Structure 1
C-alpha cells in the first residue's frame, strides 16, 4: 500500500445556517454545532475558529470539542491547524517531535485531510490539546496547567505589552487545569524569579522549576528559532508530585528557517541566549550556563543535524504530498512545497554555524 494512503480523512458536516453564523464574525469564539466523521465513526462536536492573526487567512484553523461522546480516543478536544503560512505544512509537527526527542513534554500531532460538507478543505495538522487528558495519556501526576496567552507570560514583573509594572503576577496566563489554589504557586514562582538575590536564585530556584527540562526546552526554542517561544508559545505544567514547573511548546509553524509570514528567516534571528526574565537569570548562574552550553553542543552533535532531521522532513513531505496537490489552498504552490526540504537543510547548517560562533558568550 502507498504510504500516503494512511493519511486519515476527516469529514466535517455543518448545517448551512450554522456555517453562516460561524463565518459572520471570525473573531467570535462561540462554537457552533457540527458533526465530524473519523474512521467511519460519526461524532457530534462543537467547533470554532482558533488562533489570532490566522483567523483572517483564507484557510481557517479550528478548535474541535467532542460533545457526543464527550471524549474520543481519550481526548475531549483537538486542534485542526491549517498551517497556511508554512509552505511545507510540516514545521509545527517537526518541532513538536524534535522537542520530544530532546526530552521535553510536547503535544502529539498528525496530518489529516479535511472535507467540509463534501468539499475538500485540504491538509491539516491535528494537534493534541494540552489539558488533563494530556497528563493522563502520559501517566503523569495531576497538577496544574497554565497557558501563556500573550507576551506578558515573560516571567517578569514588567509587562511585555505596555512596559508598565504588571497589575497581577498572573498576567499573561490562563489556568486550564487545576483549582484556584494553584494560582498561588504560579505567582510565588514568578515573584521569586524576580526577587531572589543571585545566591538565593542559584540555591533555591530548583525547588520551583525543573532546571534540566527548562534548559532542554530553551535549546529547542533556540534550534527551531521560534521568535515568540520565550514569551508566548508555551504552556506551564506544575507536576503535583515533584511540585516543579515544566514547560510545554506550542505553535511552532514559524520555525526551521521561515518566519510567521512564511518568509525566509535569517539564521541569527533568534539570539542564542533567548529573551525572558527566567532565561536571563538562569544563564547568569555559572553552573546553569555551562550546563546549557554542554547541552547545545550535545544536541548539535546528535540531534540538530542534516543527517538526523532531513530524513524526517522527507518522510513527512512524502506522506502528505499526494494530498497537498488536492488542497485547494496549497496545490498551486506545489513547486515551493517541493523545495522546502532544501530550505530546512540550509537552515540547519546556517543555524549551527551561528550557534557555534556564539557559544563563547556562554563561557
Structure 2
C-alpha cells in the first residue's frame, strides 16, 4: 500500500514521571525531555515533546520523537506520533497522504502503531515520517531546502492572512527545516513575482520557480480530500537541489474526507474546484495551466478518487486498526462512531466526486 511502513507494531516509550510533569505543566513548550524507546527490537535513547498546535490541549497527546543515542536509526533522525484524536476514524491522515502519493505528489510515509508510555497503554497512534534530509535521501532526491508552512501567512500573497495588512516580510508563515543558501531569497522572489507579474510574464516565468505539473497534482489532491486549511498551511515546500524549482508536500491531513479539524461533518461542496490562495489563482488564470489542471483532475476523478479504488484501502485499514482501537483507553466512548466511519468516508467520496465532476467543466 502507498506510503506504508511495516505492519502494525508496538512502540514503547519511557519518560521519567518528573519530566512528564514538566510537559504537562506547559503543553506549549517545545523543550525536549529525555526518554527511552523500544522499537523494532531496538532500545535507544530519545528526546521527546508534545507536538501540534490546538491538539496539544487535547486529552490524548501527540509526540515528536528525536533519536539521541544513536542519532539515527533505520534511516531516520526523527519522527512524529499523532494521536489523531479528533478524527473519529483515526484513518484520514494516512488515507490522505497515501492518496497524494498515488496521484504523483511527494508525500510522507505513515503507519499505525500501538503506543505505550511507561508500560501504560496509550492506544492507537499514527507514526509519521518527518519531511527533512532523510525524506529526500529515501527518495533519491538532491539535497535542497525544506520550508514548513506553519501558519496562514504561507499563502503566496503579499498580504497577511493573520492581521489583514501588507506583510512585513515575505518569509512570514514559513519555518526553515533544511536550508541551502539563497533558497529562502528565491522563495521570496517567487512570491513577489507571483503577485506583481502580468499574466503573460507570469506564464513565461513561473516554471522557472515551480514544478507546475506537481503543483496541479497537489491541488487536485487537496481539492478531492477537501482540506480547507491546506491551501495556506499544512504543507512543506521543497526546493529541488538541481532545478531550484519548488515542490509541494502535504502535511497534517486529518481534517479531510468529509470532516473538519474538530471532527464535524462538512458539506461535500465546501471547497470549490478552483481552490484558494494567490498562487493557485494566478496559475488558473493562465489557460494552458487551467486546462492542464482540468485534465489531471478528470483523470483522478475517474481512477483514484472513486469508491471502487478507495473502498479496499478504507476497509482494510479499518480492519487492521480495529482490534487496537477497541482497546484504546481514550476511545471507549467513541467506538460506535468509529465503526460507522468507513461508510461515512466512502459516502463522502461519492458525493464529493459528483460535485467535482459537475464543476470541472467550469475550468474549460
TM-score by length of 2: 0.97
Partner of 2:52: 51
Partner-residue secondary structure (3-state), 2:146: strand
Partner of 2:176: 175
Partner of 1:146: 147
Report how far residue 180 of structure 1 moved.
Answer: 4.2
- Cα distance per residue 1:282-326 (max 9 Å; x no partner): 000000001111111110101100000011001111000000011
Partner of 2:198: 197
Higher mean displacement: 5-14 or 110-119: 5-14
Partner-residue secondary structure (3-state), 2:172: coil
Report how far residue 179 of structure 1 moved.
Answer: 3.2
Partner of 1:87: 88
Partner-residue secondary structure (3-state), 1:34: strand
Aligned positions of 1:108-187 closer than 5 A: 108-187=109-188
Partner of 1:278: 279
Partner-residue secondary structure (3-state), 1:266: coil
Equivalenced residues, count: 359
RMSD: 1.0
Q: Give structure 2 stretches of 5+ with no counterpart.
A: 1-5
- Cα distance per residue 1:161-198 (max 9 Å; x no partner): 11100000111111111234221111111111111110
Distance 1:212 1:39 in 2: 38
Distance 1:252 1:349 in 2: 19
Partner-residue secondary structure (3-state), 2:74: coil
Partner of 2:248: 247
Report how far residue 6 of structure 1 moved.
Answer: 4.2
Distance 1:110 1:126 in 2: 5
Partner of 2:26: 25
Evaluate the alpha carbon distance shift between residue 294 and residue 103 of structure 1 in structure 2; reply closer, same or farther with a 3 A threshold: same
Distance 1:6 1:197 in 2: 51
Runs of 4+ in 1 over 4 A off after TM superposition: none
Partner of 1:220: 221
Partner of 1:345: 346
Partner-residue secondary structure (3-state), 1:143: coil
Partner of 2:42: 41
Report how far residue 361 of structure 1 moved.
Answer: 2.1
Partner-residue secondary structure (3-state), 1:318: helix
Distance 1:203 1:27 in 2: 44
Partner of 1:311: 312
Distance 1:233 1:351 in 2: 21
Distance 1:352 1:319 in 2: 26
